[in-house]
């Protein structure tokens, strides 16, 4: 639950800091500046855009004495739904992970454009940029890196851009070819998009969680169940409509505004403007989905069994590229310590690694999946010298829609407080090194800040042939490492104190990852990188990790379309020019101009 102390500290600190006119001159404006728009100016803007502004009214305000912000929500309902992502999506001021807004109700005068046309958004953004006012873009609220929140800002809430239209034979700009496409408003989530595609007998590449917004996922690349077959979500984009911070409404595709079109397909989440519409390539629906898996964990607490579990883990990791080339996708989860007890239902914590594999394959048979699992199980048994307990999950076949049908109430990831570190791993990192080295790296990325608690590793199997086979013109600015990657590996070994001051808690967590985890990736996989939507925004090598060789070119695009630097996101293009203070709410230049 959010706490009120963050808001109080936020306002008092801002009042003290803003007293320095020299400092304030180099910051985005706040309500403590004389230049902050007056009530009449806000009213005039609101009138000019058809009454589309709202002042944030945090839902959780009702849980505090006298309901200071006048929330219309019942406190009991707020608490019971706090962990559901769909509710944060429906609350314009709220995000899933409140540590990024200082664990507080949103400060006053964070004004949001909550509905309206592209013309109205353009007018509002130009108005804000002219006044040195920060702009924030929020779609659904799924946000692991705090990019969709910011104090004292004009926030563009794309929630109401929810149109979908299927069009056959759409002319691909600059080509004589046509495609069957789904034209989607930027405020859709994947559940609504998948449902629209299903109605016309098609599917699209997107995220697995129905409540995830299409904008934030597509703009940073986007991986999902079909990525290993058809590439990343951004690889299926033919055209976008963008409202830029200086108030332009731009159509970008292969023949017009190509620089912006390139940038937003992979490195564009909340950085270059508001994408109000996507034209997405549709794909044939797979005939079926065949699922299956296996689980193994150390047979005993002995050193022999512990060591054997790590070699079994390495056997699986090194097998992934070949398995994925055969059509396998899915997820691998590795757990240690008390985390393994909770995930596997063990009676006690065991030394070593416990691994859960959830595989799926399209257009195949139960017999083929069973053969794959049996062969892998035999290899695990051999690699571990029969020192792990191993259980198979029987393969099953079902229709694609029955497997992927959106469940909008299922996502309960909200309300968590965590950081993570991630890396993209390919054949070089998984197959082309001595087995003892692979074991060592797996052990190192399984480190836990609280050793007895253990850790969680999540391996998404979304790379392989799909991203690798994407044609050059469709690749956009996605981190190039995706084209040789097989596994997207996330490590959750760090601990963030949910009750501490958010800035201090994040700093402590960031230091642990920078000291313990990031050095491992830099030695093991120095030439790959990380997926920005699920990575460590505090990595000292974030430019390389998230953008690779594309960073310098992206700087030019950012300067062209956001010359006032109205939009700031953590580890975004040019973000090193700015410092955002969670306590004061001020966004100030690191090196004043």
In which residue are the tokens 């996330």 written?
490
pLDDT at 24: 54
Instruction: List the structure tokens of 64.
Output: 């505090």
Please check whether the domain covering 5-159+551-589 is classified as CATH 3.40.462.10: no
Contact 426, 321 (CB under 8 A): yes
Q: Over range 107-130, report the average pLDDT.
A: 77
CATH 1.10.287.110 is held by the domain 164-284:
no
User: The tokens of 109 are what?
Assistant: 């005068």
> Using CA atoms, how far apart are residues 262 and 282, in angstroms rounded to an integer?
20
Tokens found for residue 4: 């009120």
Paired tokens of 6:
């963050």
Residue range(s) in the chain whose domain bears CATH number 3.40.462.20:
289-547
- The residues of the chain that CATH labels 3.30.465.10 are 164-284
Q: What's the CA gap between 259 and 47, in Å, rounded?
A: 34
**Residue 417 confidence (pLDDT) above 80:** no
Alpha-carbon distances, residue 379 vs 10, 382, 388, 451, 456 (angstroms): 56, 5, 12, 30, 24
Distance, CA of 168 to CA of 146 (rounded, Å): 38
> Contact 4/64 with Cβ under 8 angstroms?
yes
Portions of the chain given CATH number 3.30.43.10: 5-159+551-589
Write down the pLDDT at residue 16: 35
d(CA 46, CA 329): 49
Please state, in angstroms and rounded to a whole number, the distance separating the CA atoms of residues 291 and 225.
12
Q: Output the CATH code of domain 289-547.
A: 3.40.462.20
What is the Cα–Cα distance from 26 to 20, expressed in whole angstroms?
Answer: 10
| Alpha carbons 203 and 205: distance in angstroms, whole number | 7
**pLDDT, tens only, 127-176:** 999 999 999 998 876 776 777 788 888 988 888 899 999 999 999 999 99
Query: Would the pTM of this model clear 0.85, i.e. be above it?
Result: yes
Instruction: Supply φ then ψ for residue 293, to 5 degrees.
Output: -175, -175
Q: Higher-confidence residue: 67 or 81?
A: 67
> How confident is the model at residue 161, as a pLDDT?
92
In the predicted model, is pLDDT for residue 105 greater than 80?
A: no
């Amino acid at each position: 639950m959010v706490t009120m102390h963050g808001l109080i500290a936020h306002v008092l600190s801002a009042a003290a800091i803003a007293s320095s006119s020299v400092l304030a001159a180099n910051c985005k404006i706040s309500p403590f500046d004389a230049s902050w728009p007056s009530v009449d100016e806000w009213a005039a803007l609101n009138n000019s855009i058809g009454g589309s502004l709202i002042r944030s009214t945090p839902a959780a305000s009702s849980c505090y004495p006298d309901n200071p912000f006048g929330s219309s929500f019942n406190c009991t309902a707020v608490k019971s739904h706090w962990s559901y992502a769909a509710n944060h999506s429906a609350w314009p001021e709220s995000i899933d992970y409140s540590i990024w807004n200082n664990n507080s109700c949103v400060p006053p005068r964070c004004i949001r454009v909550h509905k309206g046309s592209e013309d109205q958004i353009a007018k509002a953004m130009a108005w804000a940029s002219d006044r040195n006012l920060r702009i924030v873009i929020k779609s659904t609220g799924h946000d692991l890196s705090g990019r969709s929140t910011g104090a004292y800002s004009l926030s563009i809430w794309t929630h109401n851009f929810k149109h979908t239209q299927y069009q056959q034979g759409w002319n691909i700009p600059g080509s004589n070819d046509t495609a069957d496409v789904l034209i989607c408003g930027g405020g859709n989530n994947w559940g609504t998009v998948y449902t629209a595609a299903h109605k016309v007998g098609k599917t699209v590449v997107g995220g697995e969680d129905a409540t995830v917004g299409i904008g934030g996922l597509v703009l940073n690349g986007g991986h999902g169940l079909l990525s290993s077959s058809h590439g990343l979500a951004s690889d299926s984009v033919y055209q976008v409509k963008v409202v830029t911070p200086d108030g332009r409404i731009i159509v970008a595709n292969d023949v017009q505004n190509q620089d912006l079109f390139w940038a937003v397909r992979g490195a564009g989440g909340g950085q270059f403007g508001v994408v109000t519409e996507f034209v997405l390539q549709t794909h044939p629906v797979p005939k079926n989905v065949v699922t299956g898996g296996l689980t193994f964990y150390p047979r005993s607490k002995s050193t022999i069994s512990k060591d054997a579990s790590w070699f079994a883990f390495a056997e699986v990791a090194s097998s992934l590229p070949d398995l994925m080339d055969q059509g396998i996708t899915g997820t691998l989860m590795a757990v240690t310590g008390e985390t393994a007890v909770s995930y596997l239902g063990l009676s006690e914590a065991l030394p070593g690694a416990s691994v859960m594999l959830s595989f799926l394959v399209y257009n195949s048979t139960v017999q083929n999946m069973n053969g794959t699992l049996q062969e892998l199980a035999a290899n695990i048994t051999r690699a571990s010298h029969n020192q792990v307990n191993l259980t198979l999950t029987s393969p099953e076949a079902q229709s694609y829609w029955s497997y992927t049908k959106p469940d909008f109430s299922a996502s309960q990831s909200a309300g968590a407080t965590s950081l993570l570190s991630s890396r993209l791993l390919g054949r070089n990192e998984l197959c082309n090194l001595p087995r003892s080295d692979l074991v060592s790296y797996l052990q190192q990325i399984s480190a836990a800040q609280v050793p007895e608690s253990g850790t969680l590793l999540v391996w998404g199997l979304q790379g392989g042939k799909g991203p690798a086979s994407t044609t050059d013109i469709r690749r956009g600015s996605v981190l190039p490492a995706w084209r040789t990657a097989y596994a997207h590996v996330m490590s959750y070994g760090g601990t963030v104190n949910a009750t501490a001051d958010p800035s201090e808690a994040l700093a402590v967590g960031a230091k642990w990852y920078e000291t313990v985890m990031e050095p491992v990736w830099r030695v093991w996989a120095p030439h790959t990188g990380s997926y920005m939507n699920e990575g460590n925004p505090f990595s000292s090598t974030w430019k390389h990790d998230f953008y690779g060789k594309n960073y310098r070119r992206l700087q030019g695009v950012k300067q062209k379309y956001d010359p006032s630097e109205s939009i700031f996101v953590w580890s975004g293009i040019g973000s090193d020019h700015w410092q955002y203070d969670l306590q004061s709410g001020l966004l100030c230049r690191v090196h004043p101009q």
